[in-house]
Amino acid sequence: MLDRKEVLRYLGCRTENALLERMAVQAEKLVLQAAAPVHVFRRTAIRVEDDTTHVGTTALVSRDLAAHLNGCREVYLLALTLGPGIDRLIRRSEVADPPMVPVLQACAAVYTEFCADEIQKSLEAQAGRCGLYLRPRYSPGYGDFSLENQRFFFDSLEITKRIGVFLTDSFLMIPCKSITAVLGLSEKGTQCHVGKCMSCKLNKCPFRK
């Protein structure tokens, strides 16, 4: 079952709402039926210099990404999608049941994060067996890491060929519930972790909930 509180948070609901909760129960069932999660990842060497992360012959210019990967010599590149069924479900609801659309969107977003978290746990276990620590996910669109960098992920992971996700001219992904991310591998642990947001002083950190 999806985290119901997280679904309601995506909907901007901060108090008990019986109607939204009933809709969320129904939407969750529909999303889980329609979704077909698939992913692809690759481990690769990197070199961080100033505000640039070098991955092979590609230079990713982002001060925030470089700071996040400081101390890392390798990363995992990751792409994940819930598949086209979610898009079809939302299109049908736009005609048949418009009020359900934002609830479906919220449930699909939470399920996307759940799937990504499960993959991250698996990669973290792999890293641990090598004596390494895994940094949290960092995606295009976070901080100054431009969405234009989506093209790098698509080329590096052959995303369209391998999991059927397409990139638009405005760097949005189709199916819509798809993500790309980089996860740093470090020889030392890091204090930046999604579970410690409430005690963290970095108010602009993209991992803050």
Report if residue 117 sits inside a domain: yes
Does residue 108 lie within any of the structural domains? yes
Note the Cα 72 to chain centre separation in Å. 20
Number of domains in the chain: 1
Question: Which of left, alpha, beta for 17 (phi over 0: left; psi -120 to 50: alpha)?
Answer: beta
Instruction: Give me the DSSP letters along 133-154.
Output: EEPPPB-TTSTT--GGGHHHHH
pLDDT on residue 82: 98
- Asked, for residue 206, whether it belongs to a domain, the answer is no
pLDDT at 204: 52
Does the residue 207 lie in any domain? no
Residue keyed to tokens 């019986």: 18
Mean pLDDT of 50-76: 96
CATH of the domain at 183: 3.40.109.40
Q: Is residue 209 part of a domain?
A: no
Q: Is residue 67 part of a domain?
A: yes
Q: Does 142 map to a domain?
A: yes
Do 13 and 6 touch, CB atoms closer than 8 A? no
Distance CA 109, CA 183 (A): 20
| Higher per-residue pLDDT: 87 or 193 | 87
Is residue 171 one of the residues assigned to a domain? yes
Domain with 77, as residue range(s), is: 4-199
Q: pLDDT digit string (tens) for 133-179?
A: 999 999 999 999 999 999 999 999 999 999 999 999 999 999 999 99
Q: Model confidence at 79, in pLDDT bands (50, 70, 90)?
A: very high
